[in-house]
């Protein structure tokens, strides 16, 4: 009877919006709660229950086939969560986890997650999750949780969790310190949602229903978490994370002697109230950051690699989400990287200090302020450089906002006596204004921006402007975009893949939901993307006919037929192997077939593949790439990334067979000891790179890292050559100890 009443209520309430579904109350407890995964505390017997989860995948029109129950309570220090996840069949469940490493991710991994929107702005939130093996994950959601880029698990913080596996169900307990969260003091309600992924059925379900055409982390549909009394400030909240690192390195190409280095530094996190955070770093060292995955670069433009450094991650969207993809006025990876004035190559530039203030001033206003100092390096001809970024974001209407950013990169005069003097001719500045549209029901999303760069050259056409709009319903996905980028727009601390163009693009998908069989959804699509500028007219375009399928077993398939055109306004070698270049002023039109397939990720052996076949400039290109992995549950994954490009161009231009292979060994001996080895062979640059990292998490967010890196010149497989590893190029060994101390 209760289920029938809930179903009728859900249908009626859906006519006026998911957000009006009833919330859940949370009451304070004096009982001591032991985080052991055994829900035997008395408080759990009396707590309200969040149950009757709705399906999100494969359908969103029925209740979940596997039941989930969530209970909450709190004391003066922590918020506690108890979760009970039932199985469809009795007995001990066969659960899926890639390993025991923290921050698991994927649509096929068992797990339960809680999403806290602590300001009720339906724009930013914290997410915490646990799987049946007690593996934790925590992350940040931004921009309403509308896509994969709005969800990061790189953020780390202190909290506790445990899980238990029993006959017919599994359990999880969380203890999340209030000091870990940022929230507005005095609020009597937060927004909250819970979601579960069950590998046995392939089902994904949520407590507050979310339409399946949106992301499962979308914040527009969360329900209320109702506190028995309004929350107060959690008290002093200061964390210090010192580190000690030592390293040995040898540069064989330069022929320099082996060098050793000892470094001491650290970070501090100071909560200036419950919603504003001050991050400080002194002499930071990022040697423990996992190595970037190499890609075969056949493009004429720079490749984007995401930020991984912890200092930049909390409230990162306040700084990094201005502009649009491939056109960002601020890109934090520019800090700590400089150009060698002698060789022109990118080199590491040591950071002396960094200060970052970010968070909420009130429920409608977010602010960010960053200042970092790069060290002078006379051997590379680098001036000391200061980076300053100031931003604000003001909420408008229900979920939209307007933001402004100012960026200043300022170099200092190079004086032997160390005088700290501004060089008035060595600066780069950006000022920008963005409006981010997000409707209450999440159907309409968009962006409108205008940015202006400034430097000593004082040229014209230093602007970047654009607009895009997205409309999303169950059956239709439509987006359109316009951009106009000036010829001299120069964001030195940003990422501009190219400049001097006007761009128009659009994409439309129609979705069918068969409701039976193995296909969850499928449908056709059409899109186009056109670039032009005043000097050359149309320089690039592609037009695509597409079809996609999503399967109930978590697999997917996508295919497209493309007609593409490119005009070379600069000479270019399509193989990127320093061979004879195609002449500037030439143009090429080609037909291409492209396809992608992802297998059932719940299987012990899972894989994804993609291909590109057809014309390529004045020749042909066959591309085949993907990855395959074997899950040795629960201890780790053996995987292989691969990419093969067969390029055939007419004489006298070069042809090439370009291979990129990257085996990865990721083992977790326990939930606290991890070993990852990543080998990457890239025939395009004849390079073999080995990166091996051992991590021991001896206390929460306190680690010992041992990182070994080896780089070799390697021969290719072309023309029947036997693969050979040549002379070493660079080798290093790093030992680093970090410790998280709460004061």
Q: Decide if 444 contacts 469 (C-beta within 8 A).
A: yes
Cα-based distances in Å from 409 to 126, 172, 330, 391, 465 = 32, 47, 11, 15, 21
135 in a domain, yes or no?
A: yes
Band of the pLDDT at 219, cuts 50, 70, 90?
A: very high
166 in a domain, yes or no?
A: yes
Query: Which residues lie below 8 Å from residue 287, measured CB to CB, with a gap of 6+?
Result: 245, 247, 705, 707, 734, 736
Q: What is the mean pLDDT of residues 425-450?
A: 95
Band of the pLDDT at 10, cuts 50, 70, 90?
A: very low
Closest to 298 in 3D by CA, of 642, 646, 662: 646
According to the model, what pLDDT value does residue 328 have?
Answer: 96
Question: Each residue of 136-146: pLDDT tens digit?
Answer: 999 999 989 87
According to the model, what pLDDT value does residue 415 have?
Answer: 44
Question: Each residue of 154-169: pLDDT tens digit?
Answer: 888 899 999 999 999 9
According to the model, what pLDDT value does residue 339 have?
Answer: 64
488 in a domain, yes or no?
A: no
* pLDDT at residue 464 is higher than 80: yes
According to the model, what pLDDT value does residue 7 have?
Answer: 42
* pLDDT at residue 201 is higher than 60: yes
Q: Decide if 27 contacts 73 (C-beta within 8 A).
A: yes
According to the model, what pLDDT value does residue 420 have?
Answer: 56
Q: What is the mean pLDDT of residues 519-536?
A: 96
Query: Which tokens hold the place of 335?
Result: 């800090």
Cα-based distances in Å from 307 to 154, 291, 385 = 9, 11, 20
647, exposed or middle or buried, with CB in 10 Å at 0-12, 13-18, 19+? buried
Query: Which tokens hold the place of 137?
Result: 């994950």
Q: Decide if 705 contacts 694 (C-beta within 8 A).
A: yes
Cα-based distances in Å from 170 to 69, 98, 101, 133, 173 = 11, 18, 19, 9, 11
154 in a domain, yes or no?
A: yes
Q: Who wins on pLDDT, 181 or 16?
A: 181
According to the model, what pLDDT value does residue 273 have?
Answer: 79
According to the model, what pLDDT value does residue 657 have?
Answer: 94
According to the model, what pLDDT value does residue 369 have?
Answer: 97
38 CB neighbour count, 10 Å cutoff: 13
According to the model, what pLDDT value does residue 413 have?
Answer: 65
Tell me what the pLDDT averaged over the chain comes to: 90
Q: Who wins on pLDDT, 12 or 455?
A: 455
Cα-based distances in Å from 585 to 564, 650, 673 = 17, 18, 56
Range of the domain at 172: 21-227
Band of the pLDDT at 17, cuts 50, 70, 90?
A: very low
Q: What is the mean pLDDT of residues 608-617?
A: 97
According to the model, what pLDDT value does residue 118 have?
Answer: 94
521 in a domain, yes or no?
A: no
For residue 533, give the DSSP letter.
E
According to the model, what pLDDT value does residue 8 have?
Answer: 42
Domain CATH number, residue 212: 2.60.40.1190
Query: Which residues lie below 8 Å from residue 476, measured CB to CB, with a gap of 6+?
Result: 508, 509, 510, 511
Q: What is the mean pLDDT of residues 171-199?
A: 94
501 in a domain, yes or no?
A: no
Q: What is the mean pLDDT of residues 194-214?
A: 96
Task: Answer positive or negative: Cα dihedral of 549, 550, 554, 556.
Answer: positive
pTM for this model (two decimals): 0.90
**Which H or E run includes 475?**
none
Look at 344-353, 424-433, 664-673 and tell me which has the smallest mean pLDDT. 344-353
Question: Each residue of 705-733: pLDDT tens digit?
Answer: 999 999 988 865 554 555 567 788 889 99
Q: What is the mean pLDDT of residues 339-360?
A: 77
Band of the pLDDT at 515, cuts 50, 70, 90?
A: confident
According to the model, what pLDDT value does residue 254 have?
Answer: 78
Q: What is the mean pLDDT of residues 682-704?
A: 91
d(CA 447, CA 453): 19
Phi, psi of 287 (to 5 degrees): -65, -20
Q: Decide if 88 contacts 64 (C-beta within 8 A).
A: no
199 in a domain, yes or no?
A: yes
Band of the pLDDT at 15, cuts 50, 70, 90?
A: very low
According to the model, what pLDDT value does residue 716 have?
Answer: 57
According to the model, what pLDDT value does residue 525 have?
Answer: 98
d(CA 456, CA 425): 5
Closest to 464 in 3D by CA, of 567, 319, 326: 326
Band of the pLDDT at 461, cuts 50, 70, 90?
A: very high
Question: Each residue of 260-308: pLDDT tens digit?
Answer: 889 999 999 998 877 889 999 999 887 766 666 767 778 887 777 778 7
Question: Each residue of 555-589: pLDDT tens digit?
Answer: 999 999 999 999 999 999 999 888 999 999 999 99
Closest to 138 in 3D by CA, of 150, 121, 149, 151: 151
Query: Which residues lie below 8 Å from residue 516, measured CB to CB, with a gap of 6+?
Result: none
Band of the pLDDT at 663, cuts 50, 70, 90?
A: very high
Closest to 210 in 3D by CA, of 331, 71, 57: 57
Cα-based distances in Å from 346 to 33, 176, 339, 422 = 52, 41, 5, 23
Band of the pLDDT at 419, cuts 50, 70, 90?
A: low
16, exposed or middle or buried, with CB in 10 Å at 0-12, 13-18, 19+? exposed
SS3 613: strand
Q: What is the largest CA-CA distance in the chain?
A: 83
According to the model, what pLDDT value does residue 6 have?
Answer: 45
Angle at 636 between CA 630 and CA 637, to 5 degrees: 30
494 in a domain, yes or no?
A: no
d(CA 626, CA 598): 9
Question: Each residue of 489-509: pLDDT tens digit?
Answer: 999 999 999 999 999 999 999
681 CB neighbour count, 10 Å cutoff: 22
Question: Each residue of 361-382: pLDDT tens digit?
Answer: 888 999 999 999 988 877 666 7
According to the model, what pLDDT value does residue 108 have?
Answer: 84
According to the model, what pLDDT value does residue 710 have?
Answer: 92
Query: Which tokens hold the place of 563?
Result: 């007609």
According to the model, what pLDDT value does residue 236 have?
Answer: 76
According to the model, what pLDDT value does residue 404 have?
Answer: 98
The number of distinct structural domains making up the chain is: 1
């Amino acid at each position: 009877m209760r289920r029938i009443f809930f179903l009728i209520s859900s249908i009626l309430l859906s006519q006026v919006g998911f957000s009006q579904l009833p919330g859940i109350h949370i009451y304070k407890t004096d009982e001591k709660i032991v985080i052991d995964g055994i829900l035997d505390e008395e408080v759990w017997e009396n707590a309200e229950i969040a149950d009757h989860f709705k399906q999100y995948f494969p359908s969103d029109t029925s209740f979940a086939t596997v039941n989930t129950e969530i209970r909450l309570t709190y004391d003066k220090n922590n918020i506690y969560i108890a979760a009970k996840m039932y199985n469809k069949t009795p007995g001990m469940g066969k659960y899926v986890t890639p390993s025991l490493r923290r921050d698991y991710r994927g649509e096929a991994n068992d797990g339960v997650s809680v999403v806290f929107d602590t300001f009720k702005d339906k724009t930013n939130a914290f997410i915490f999750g646990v799987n049946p093996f007690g593996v934790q994950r925590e992350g940040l959601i931004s921009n309403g949780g509308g896509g994969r880029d709005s969800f990061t698990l790189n953020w780390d913080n202190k909290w506790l969790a445990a899980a238990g596996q029993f006959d017919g169900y599994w359990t999880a307990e969380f203890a999340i310190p209030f000091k870990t969260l940022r929230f507005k003091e005095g609020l009597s309600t937060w927004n909250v949602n819970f979601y579960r992924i069950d590998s046995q059925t392939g089902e994904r379900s949520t407590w507050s229903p979310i339409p399946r055409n949106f992301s499962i982390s979308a914040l527009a549909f969360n329900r209320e978490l109702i506190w028995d009394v309004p929350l107060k400030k959690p008290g002093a909240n200061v964390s210090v994370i010192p580190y000690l690192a030592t390293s040995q390195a040898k540069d064989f190409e330069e022929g320099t002697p082996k060098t050793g280095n000892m470094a001491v530094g650290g970070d501090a996190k100071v909560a200036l109230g419950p919603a504003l955070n001050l991050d400080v770093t002194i002499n930071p060292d990022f040697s423990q950051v996992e190595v970037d995955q190499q890609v075969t670069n056949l493009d004429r433009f720079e490749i984007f690699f995401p930020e991984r450094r912890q200092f930049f991650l909390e409230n990162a969207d306040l700084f990094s989400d201005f502009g649009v993809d491939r056109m960002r006025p601020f890109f934090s990876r520019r800090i700590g990287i400089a150009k060698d004035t002698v060789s022109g190559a990118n080199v590491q530039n040591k950071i002396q200090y960094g200060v970052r203030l970010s968070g909420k001033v009130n429920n409608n206003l977010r602010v960010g302020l960053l200042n970092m100092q790069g060290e002078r390096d006379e051997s590379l001809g680098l001036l000391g450089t200061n980076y300053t970024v100031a931003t604000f974001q003001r909420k408008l209407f229900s979920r939209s906002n307007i933001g402004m950013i100012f960026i200043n990169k300022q170099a200092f005069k190079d004086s032997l006596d160390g005088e700290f003097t501004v060089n008035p001719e060595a600066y780069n500045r950006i000022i920008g204004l963005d409006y981010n549209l997000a409707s209450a029901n999440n159907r309409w999303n968009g962006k409108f921006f205008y940015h202006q760069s400034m430097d000593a050259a004082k040229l014209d056409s230093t602007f970047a402007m654009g607009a895009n709009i997205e409309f999303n319903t169950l059956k239709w996905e439509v987006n359109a975009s316009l951009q106009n980028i000036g010829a001299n727009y120069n964001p030195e601390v940003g990422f501009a893949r190219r400049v001097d163009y006007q761009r128009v693009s659009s994409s439309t998908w129609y979705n069918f939901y068969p409701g039976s069989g193995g296909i969850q959804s499928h449908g056709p699509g059409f899109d186009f993307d056109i670039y032009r500028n005043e000097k050359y007219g149309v320089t690039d375009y592609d037009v695509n006919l597409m079809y996609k399928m999503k399967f109930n077993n978590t697999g997917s398939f996508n295919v497209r037929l493309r007609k593409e055109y490119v005009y070379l306004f600069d000479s270019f070698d399509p193989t990127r192997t320093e061979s004879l270049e195609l002449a500037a002023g030439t143009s090429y039109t080609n037909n291409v077939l492209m396809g992608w397939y992802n297998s059932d990720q719940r299987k012990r052996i899972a894989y994804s593949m993609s291909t590109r076949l057809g014309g390529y400039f004045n020749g042909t290109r066959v591309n085949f790439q993907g990855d395959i992995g074997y899950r040795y549950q629960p201890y780790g994954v053996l995987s292989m990334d691969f990419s093969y490009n067969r390029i055939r161009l007419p004489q006298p231009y070069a042809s090439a067979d370009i291979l990129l292979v990257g085996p990865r060994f990721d083992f977790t001996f326990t939930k606290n000891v991890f070993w990852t080895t990543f080998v990457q062979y890239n025939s395009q640059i004849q390079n073999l790179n080995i990166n091996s990292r051992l991590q021991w998490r001896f206390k929460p967010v306190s680690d010992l890292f041992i990182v070994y890196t080896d780089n070799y010149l390697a021969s290719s497989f072309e023309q029947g050559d036997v693969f050979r590893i040549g002379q070493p190029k660079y080798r290093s060994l790093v030992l680093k100890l970090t410790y998280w101390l709460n004061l």
